[in-house]
Structure 1
Amino acid sequence: MIIHLRAAGVSLVIDARGTRVPVLVHWGADLGELSEISLASVADATVPAIGPSSLDVPLRLSLLPTLREGWSGRPAISGHRAGSPTIEFDLSLDRVTGSGLCREFVLVDAAAAVTVTVELELTPHGVLRLRHTLTNRGATAFELGSLDVVLPVPDRAREILDFTGLWTHERRPQRTALAHGTWSRESRHGRPGHDDAFLTVIGAAGYGFRAGEVWATHLAWSGDKRTWAESSPLGRVVLGLGELLAPGEVSVVPGGSYSTPWSIAVHSVDGLDGLSARLHPWIRSWSTITSPRPVVLNSWEAVYFDQGMEQIAPLVDAAAHVGVERFVLDDGWFTGRSDDRRALGDWFVDAVTWPEGLHPLIDRVHAAGMDFGLWVEPEMVNPDSDLARRHPEWILGGPSAHTWRNQQALDLGNPEVFDYLLGRLNALLEEYPVAYLKWDHNRDLLSGSAHRQTTALYRLIDAVRTAHPTLEIESCASGGARIDLGILERVDRVWTSDTNDPLERQEIQRYTGLLIPPEYLGSHLGAARSHTTMRSSDLAFRFATALFGNAGIEWDLTVASGAEHAQIAEWIGLYKQLRELLHGGTVVRADSSDPAVQLHGVVSADQQRAVFAQVSMAAPGSAIPPALRFVGLAPDTVYRVTAVTAGANAQLIQTRPPAWLESGGVSLPGRVLETVGLARPMLAPEQAALYSVIAE
């Protein structure tokens, strides 16, 4: 049979005739309605010629390509049985099941005594999901080397974009042209890491945010992974991805199975924004988020480890005064925790710092109209802790394992460790009305099985949420080192980065938001001087940056002035007014000829309203900077564009503003606003201004 799946402008054509492993004939732009005869013609017309000095049958890339098929690129599957050489897989199609937009292809290799089931779904949003499950039909254990998803893309896709980074500088884009060979990224952090490839994009040269055809993949997995793009002299270009397995890490027992993480694949003919336009609605269709994202105040950069009612109560009062809705007590609340060198793992409220427990603080938070959140880091332990002294055998890699940030990792795959952590978390959540956990993870593993640790982490979070169904969880990993769609299934927020420097945050949020919807992205208003970069920033720039996410505050408001309190309250009021739009609309980013000047925004689903931010990252390259082109609007709808003040005004370097702004705004059709644009106000470097766009 030939299968044609269509959704949201995407077509998937799979040739599953005969017993050979099915071939993905087309993944990309919609091909329209095709009869069975036409589909057969499409499949047949793409069968390549047989060239000289080559395989004597046409080389077609299957859903599980192997060397036996003639594919000399990176194979999709490898493994062996103990005492035996690496298996040369010769799989064949046993049966196809499923209907609608979902299919399962059952592949068998009788000689290797394995079955591989390929699960495939094209969602109504045009997002492709794939997963392989290997079942061991033999009498001995099967040692899995790798099991990956490999997807062909057209030869015209030659320019790769993925990401790298480091602590407080996550999601740095890097682009390169693909020649013959493999562009490969591997993560061995036990978590995705600050340098996570994150999203692998390939497309025709020159694609941007608003134009160009692109294909992208992401692995929904929070452990070790590998992703790659490969161009073979055989004439094929592929994207590949899968869990990165250490030798012997996954041994499949007789009758047992191993399932890969879900691979997520997306196609767009509208550039990078077209990827977000598919991914964000799809993620929202299964999101755990059920209520508006509250304004958060986190205590960390306000007090650090200096806790106690005397220090925290004034911060609670200040938070309530400006309109905060959730107060989060960060690190420092548990027994003996006076710095980051001690007590991690001893999850009991410190009797000295909090002699009456956390009840008086939580009562004060609730009385002020806010709910209460608490920081935890369950996966880690300090060597200087009661837990490490009592159970050194619980430490991953043993008690002599290297410390990182003065801490070691606990072996979550050990049932005793798992039960202890679940018990302590449940005890805290049963004693205290905690609405929200900030769940941190501040080091790489460096030892043990990342597969075992990650699957145990998922089970632990799932168990906590089952026991406490109204609890919300934020994923933090020394900032943005664990942001992926595997963890996102289990949390309601991610901490995008440990930096609140707005200049760094603009780029971090811009690119993290390609995949993750803004309502998940924790984005905080910090103090004027960033404690991670030592750079000072004006309030207007900090306001405009923190607005486009799940807004919060990480600043000691007790030392802020009365005028600053009033400005913060105005900014929070604007966030609440725009919250539904910001967290339910379509994210858009205008391409710019000058990287120093940017424009991004969110347009409502019905295209009746939008909010945009003009951002000046540095001094512009020309005296008259390029026009503001408001993208993503309905072409024939007339919109009123006006400036918005969010508590503070941006600094400008101009004798006189553009005429349209001086007159209080302008009304123009969406087509004009995108094609011609408006004269750009001359913002000083490291400034941002906001604009409201409303249909008339």
Structure 2
Amino acid sequence: MLHLRAAGVSLVLDARGGVPCVIHWGADLGELDDLALAALADAVVPAVPPSSVDVPLRFSLWPGLAEGWSGRPALAGHRQGVPAPALRLVALGDSWVRAKSADDSLELTTELELTPEGVLRIRHRLTNLGDTDFELSGLNMLLPIPEQASELLDFTGLWAHEREPQRGSLRHGVWSRESRHGRPGHDDAFLMMAGEPGFGFRRGRVWATHLAWSGDKQIWAERSALGYGALGAGELLEPGEIRLGPGDSYETPWLIAVFSDSGIDGLSDRLHPWIRSRSPLRLPRPVVLNTWEAVYFDHDFSVLGRLVDAAASVGVERFVLDDGWFTGRRDDKRALGDWYVDSSVWPDGLHPLISRVVSAGMEFGLWVEPEMISPDSDLARAHPSWMLDSSLTWRWQRVLDLNNPDAFAFVRDRLAALLSEYPIAYLKWDHNRDVLTPGATHRQTHALYRLLSELRASFPNVEIESCASGGARIDLGILDLVDRFWTSDTNDPLDRQKIQRWTSVLIPPEYLGGHLGAGAAHVTGRSSALGFRLATALFGSAGIEWNLNAASPSELAVIAEWIAEYKRLRPLLHTGVVVRADAADPANEVHGVVSQDRSSAVFALVALGTPRSALPPPVRFPGLDPNRVYTVRPIGTPPKMVQDAAPAWLSVGSVTLPGRVLSELGLPSPLLAPEQAILLSVDAS
């Protein structure tokens, strides 16, 4: 028997038979000795129904036909056309289980870890012990879910509209989400949740899985008419993509599995502390100004110099030069791969600009897109074989074959040369297209991981942001190798509110870049009030994507005040507990961050549209200590209101009440105009 327990979660395996059976994954079952575990395992053996296998059907750690499981299997593959034989248990450790095939030609080892935060991690390693090749079709991780987990929530999306939630019932059959983008994609399922009907941010039991992998994948939920439900995931493999020679091994990505008995926020309450515990992320996160939506490809030193001065004057800490700095790059149709500073634009290299940035007290960052190559580039003309063989261009670019040792070395060495010549503190690492070459994703993803690892080893003080035409590559596989995600290419605050709300279920906010854009959003063209833009960008790794040379003195003053407030709040925003209230009216949302000791918090009441009634539901403040007394007061730029008189508590400027009252009863809502937000500080007396 194997019983893992941590932070209110249990995993129980019965490994007394031929294969280990998963008895339970979910709420903690308490302290169970060997006798109690054996009694539990014996007691939960199910009945044998008519017209079925003649032994009780149990959910194996490696479910497949050999155990009577007719759903999606854990292992699929063949040796010269003969399917993989059944597995049998051969060894059990404190955190691993090992099996061999009946003919001893395959060995499968499964690692299991339940972290102190209650996050379960599982991965398999398959080794070919035979003397001929074994072609692997799939190696997946599956976990059972109970019958109460009958409602699903996962995500879809488009460019600039990532993490769009979608919900539905889990009926008999398979709800499967497959990514064939060579990256997770804008429509990434992201985090698949199965919960009790009507589960929300603060209510209901929820089971969830995420595959920590940056390439093609499949993640699914299944309810079998045989009586079991399951969540499963694994790398999505093309035929022939993984062929194991004698002695070769294949290791799956980690499956990250989380249980919560307090809704979706309960998932974050486990994931965020676990991610933070294993990350060397530098705090505080610097305020960034990125030049893309300020100057695009128009790189002019005098213009950029004034932008440097404006950025420094409002308190920016990191200045990032985006696309357009390298040889021949005057638009997005050419020159990817020619990673040399363009002497026609920068005759003295980037030294004058960087000197101005550093002299102004800021770090310097640079945009790159190392995994791509333009057909119209010196590199492509010199090495056409370095392009992956898809004939389709995307944004007028192709994919560089990082599995080619020469191409890999060229990119690594060019980036190393830039990082050696210039004091670059940060790389914005972009990836602006899908990988559409069959069979290339597995090796391309592993080559990317190796490239990032080598650069980080050589330049440990350089931070890297994962940007994939916005948010198309946000996952826990690449998070081990990067320091920030570009959450989406849209800076429109109305879109960003929902994108950030859902992305932060999995990813802590300090990793999620959120920038203040211009009044008219670059992507949507929608105009937004400065206060709404500022309140939206506050909750994350904040920055600016706006030509401050065009801002008015009054706007610059407001931005400077906002940055000062952000710096004051950073310790809270980037270490606290993210909370979200369940919305009684979808037009109004409440979210916030509460300090770990629950002594302070900052909340945002956001009006996404027009409420359904003249008096919207009260503002409730989740996550506070019910037995402490708090003072609530507005901070930041005042929003536009549509009210003849403000609620009484807001009219006097603050209110002091117990946390239980603020969480359960709440406060009367101010009547915000659509697309407005009010920030509220909450501090214990």
TM tier, smaller:
over 0.9
The structure 2 residue matched to 1:354, chosen from 324, 346, 351, is: 346
Cα deviation digits, residues 219-251 of structure 1 (max 9, x gap): 000000000000000000000000000000011
Contact 1:315 1:558 in 2 (8 A): yes
User: Structure 2: how far apart are the matches of 1:112 and 1:532?
Assistant: 57
Partner-residue secondary structure (3-state), 1:201? strand
Equivalent positions of 1:27-176 (< 5 A) are 27-82=25-80, 84-87=81-84, 89-98=85-94, 103-111=95-103, 113-176=105-168
Counterpart in the other structure of 1:418: 408
Deviation at 1:516, TM superposition (A): 0.2
Partner-residue secondary structure (3-state), 1:274? helix
Counterpart in the other structure of 1:445: 435
Partner-residue secondary structure (3-state), 1:569? helix
Partner-residue secondary structure (3-state), 2:171? coil
Q: Number of residues paired by the alignment?
A: 684
The structure 1 residue matched to 2:382, chosen from 376, 390, 397, is: 390
Runs of 4+ off more than 6 Å: none
Counterpart in the other structure of 1:404: 394
Deviation at 1:17, TM superposition (A): 1.2
Q: Which stretch shifts more, 232-241 or 4-13?
A: 4-13
In the superposition, the TM-score normalised over structure 2's length comes to 0.99
Equivalent positions of 1:251-266 (< 5 A) are 251-266=243-258
Q: Give the letter for the 1:532 counterpart.
A: V
The structure 2 residue matched to 1:427, chosen from 410, 417, 420, is: 417
User: Structure 2: how far apart are the matches of 1:569 and 1:152?
Assistant: 52
Contact 1:288 1:490 in 2 (8 A): no
Partner-residue secondary structure (3-state), 2:197? coil
Contact 2:163 2:188 in 1 (8 A): yes
Deviation at 1:16, TM superposition (A): 1.1
Partner-residue secondary structure (3-state), 1:422? helix
Partner-residue secondary structure (3-state), 2:481? coil
Cα deviation digits, residues 169-217 of structure 1 (max 9, x gap): 0000000001100000000000000000000000110000001000000
User: Structure 2: how far apart are the matches of 1:551 and 1:481?
Assistant: 20
Cα deviation digits, residues 135-155 of structure 1 (max 9, x gap): 000001110000000100101
Contact 2:25 2:145 in 1 (8 A): yes
CA RMSD, Structure 1 to Structure 2 (Å): 0.8
Runs (5+) with no aligned partner, structure 2: none
Deviation at 1:11, TM superposition (A): 1.0
Q: Percent identity?
A: 64
Q: Give the letter for the 1:461 counterpart.
A: L
Deviation at 1:450, TM superposition (A): 0.3
User: Structure 2: how far apart are the matches of 1:35 and 1:61?
Assistant: 22
The structure 1 residue matched to 2:562, chosen from 567, 571, 577, is: 571
Q: Give the letter for the 1:569 counterpart.
A: A
User: Structure 2: how far apart are the matches of 1:213 and 1:501?
Assistant: 33
Counterpart in the other structure of 1:335: 327
Counterpart in the other structure of 1:192: 184
Partner-residue secondary structure (3-state), 2:117? coil
Counterpart in the other structure of 2:494: 503
Counterpart in the other structure of 1:640: 631
Counterpart in the other structure of 2:211: 219
Equivalent positions of 1:251-330 (< 5 A) are 251-330=243-322
Partner-residue secondary structure (3-state), 1:245? coil
Partner-residue secondary structure (3-state), 2:468? coil
User: Structure 2: how far apart are the matches of 1:608 and 1:42?
Assistant: 43
The structure 2 residue matched to 1:683, chosen from 656, 669, 672, is: 672
User: Structure 2: how far apart are the matches of 1:311 and 1:254?
Assistant: 61
Deviation at 1:112, TM superposition (A): 5.9
Partner-residue secondary structure (3-state), 2:505? coil
Deviation at 1:38, TM superposition (A): 1.6
Q: Are 2:652 and 1:663 aligned?
A: yes
Counterpart in the other structure of 1:649: 638
User: Structure 2: how far apart are the matches of 1:86 and 1:116?
Assistant: 15
Counterpart in the other structure of 1:470: 461
Deviation at 1:570, TM superposition (A): 0.2
Cα deviation digits, residues 30-82 of structure 1 (max 9, x gap): 11112222211211111100111111110001100010110000111000113
Cα deviation digits, residues 446-503 of structure 1 (max 9, x gap): 0041000000000000011001011100000000000000011100000000000000
User: Structure 2: how far apart are the matches of 1:151 and 1:12?
Assistant: 10
Cα deviation digits, residues 417-462 of structure 1 (max 9, x gap): 1000001000000000100000000000100410000000000000
Partner-residue secondary structure (3-state), 2:663? helix
Equivalent positions of 1:585-604 (< 5 A) are 585-604=576-595
Q: Are 2:372 and 1:373 aligned?
A: no
Contact 2:8 2:118 in 1 (8 A): yes
Equivalent positions of 1:203-214 (< 5 A) are 203-214=195-206
Cα deviation digits, residues 367-411 of structure 1 (max 9, x gap): 00000000000000111100011100000016xx21100100010
User: Structure 2: how far apart are the matches of 1:692 and 1:263?
Assistant: 37
User: Structure 2: how far apart are the matches of 1:637 and 1:349?
Assistant: 58
User: Structure 1: how far apart are the matches of 2:104 and 2:430?
Assistant: 43
Equivalent positions of 1:587-626 (< 5 A) are 587-626=578-617
Counterpart in the other structure of 1:12: 11
Contact 2:88 2:102 in 1 (8 A): no
User: Structure 2: how far apart are the matches of 1:308 and 1:679?
Assistant: 51
